[in-house]
Structure 1
Amino acid sequence: MERQTSNHPTARGALMFLSLEVRSYKTQSPQHCHDHTQLVLPIRGRMEIDVDGRGGFIDQSLAALVKPGSRHSQDTHVDSRFLVLDCAPTTLETIQMGRLAEKIYVPVSPATRRLIEFAELIGNQQLAIAASQLGPLLLSSLGSDTCCFSSPIEQLIARLRANPGAHWSNQAMAQAANMSMSQLHQRFRQLFAMSPQAWLTELRIQEAERWLRGTSLPIAEIALRAGFSDQASLTRTMQRLSATTPAVYRKVQKQSG
């Protein structure tokens, strides 16, 4: 993909074995291609992308794999940011990720999401140094799921776990799983004995608790990241489901840690 900006300039040869970089793109890029493999992992925002005539969009729950010679174009939001992995055409086969190479749109697993967060935190200067170690981990975390989530509902669950804070209405979930609303509710009842939104709320609480334990981010920001409308909404939900509040939960975790 044609790059607009990055946080740090990276020296690049004609074809590098593997590189990682945080980038942003022009809002629209015309159709183009390149001679290396490229994996685009959203950090923030979303991208509408067409790869060899297959249109779709990627967000924090879905990545795009662009093979050498594939003609592609994209349209992104202005404030979107992406972690981009460029590697030689043979890299996926070299590290036994051939199944991953068969795909264009790849679900982002929770493990992959944590690696993306780490990459964003260390920045491009450290990414240039750590690419040879972090790159294969990213590919492996994606490749391990490509053979596991075979059904549409499994792929949906993987996307929800990877990005619970996104705007997941019942309609959006049904569309992502390629099923009707009644089928969606039936499958969630069979799998989890609860409605899609009830299951998603529990998942969002788990995500909020992870941020409360592991970061010093303001509770209001954690609420938004986890998919709640504001801090008050998160507080009410935690009180209802866990009989605690975000502030109390964070304090207890710090004392026990």
Structure 2
Amino acid sequence: MTASSADSHLSFRRYRSAGFCHAHDHAQIVLPCQGTLEMEVGGRGGRVDAAVAAFVLPGEVHCQRAEGDNRFLIVDCAGGEGAGAPDERMLERLGRRTFLPMTPAVRRLLDFITLTAGNADGGGRNLDGLARHWTPLLLDTLMAEPARPASRLHALLARLEAAPERPWTVEVMARTAGLSASRLHALFREELDQTPQAYVASLRLARVMDQLASTTLPIAQIAYQSGYADQSALTRALRRAVGLTPAAYRRQHGRGQ
């Protein structure tokens, strides 16, 4: 069943260094969960990363390749009158822009969808049910023009996304962003509705849940590589966030479960 004749469809994908090109008869949104994806869409080159998403028009030839560990949420939009189908106005505006900013609103939606899906590729959850409910909202959010010029946090957020395991104290984050600690807190509250420390913690947990679901690495190693002092610290953080220990989360969401 293709997205042109059915409701919208969500899937998590990883890409390899061997690039490939193709086209399909439905619109597609590419959202960054981890890593960087080099894309060429209709002859226009760009990069999907922590700060940028991509929109592909129906029938538009696009090529992609990625290096290193990566993971992207792919939204295959319904065609015709299917649930979540973009209308002509959306196709025109989004297709004209192609590479779209990951505004705080878009990032919050992506984080919610990822966590609801179990943060695993498929995860045994009904991703198509999520698509029916969230694709229209996602399209509307992508359509919204940024309310103001590029955020002062843009470069910092990209660095946090790339290496959340680093010892990101408030002082280090403020210095990286060229801001005072108080101004950093104010911008995080204004744009992301959370503190800098909470944002870093959410990035670390997202990485942990991805590795628990998609690898067999020892939990202690995952904890260390994700910036936790030890496995006990990770266990406390994950239990507070989702009510599960790392071992229980892996049993529930690991591949093949």
> TM-score scaled by structure 2?
0.56
Partners of 2:4 and 2:91 in 1: CA distance: 23
| CA separation of 1:85 and 1:35: change in aligned 2, threshold 3 A | same
Q: Does the 8 Å contact 1:97/1:140 carry over to 2?
A: no
Tell me the residue number matched to 1:171: none
Instruction: Report SS of the residue matched to 1:231.
Output: coil
Tell me the residue number matched to 1:238: none
Give the aligned residue type for 1:148. Answer: P
Tell me the residue number matched to 1:76: 66
Q: Does the 8 Å contact 1:16/1:86 carry over to 2?
A: no
Tell me the residue number matched to 1:178: none
Give the aligned residue type for 1:166. Answer: A
Partners of 2:56 and 2:69 in 1: CA distance: 22
Listed as ranges, the matches of 1:197-212 within 5 Å are 203-208=196-201
Instruction: Report SS of the residue matched to 2:53.
Output: strand
Question: Shift in Å at residue 59 of structure 1?
Answer: 2.4
2:97 maps to which of 93, 103, 116: 103
2:161 maps to which of 165, 168, 179: 165
Partners of 1:18 and 1:57 in 2: CA distance: 24
| CA separation of 1:148 and 1:24: change in aligned 2, threshold 3 A | same
Partners of 1:13 and 1:99 in 2: CA distance: 20
Tell me the residue number matched to 2:87: 93
Listed as ranges, the matches of 1:101-250 within 5 Å are 101-106=95-100, 107=102, 108-119=106-117, 120-121=119-120, 123=123, 126-143=126-143, 146-153=144-151, 156=154, 160=157, 164-167=160-163, 185=178, 188=179, 192=183, 203-208=196-201, 221=222, 230-232=227-229, 250=237
Deviates more, 1:106-115 or 1:66-75: 106-115
Q: Does the 8 Å contact 2:4/2:78 carry over to 1?
A: no
Partners of 1:223 and 1:204 in 2: CA distance: 18
| CA separation of 1:247 and 1:21: change in aligned 2, threshold 3 A | closer
1:103-147 per-residue CA deviation (whole Å, 9 max, x = no partner) reads 21221423322223323346365113432123224334444xx41
> TM-score scaled by structure 1?
0.56
Higher-RCO chain (CA-CA 8 Å, sequence separation at least 6): 2
Partners of 1:110 and 1:222 in 2: CA distance: 24
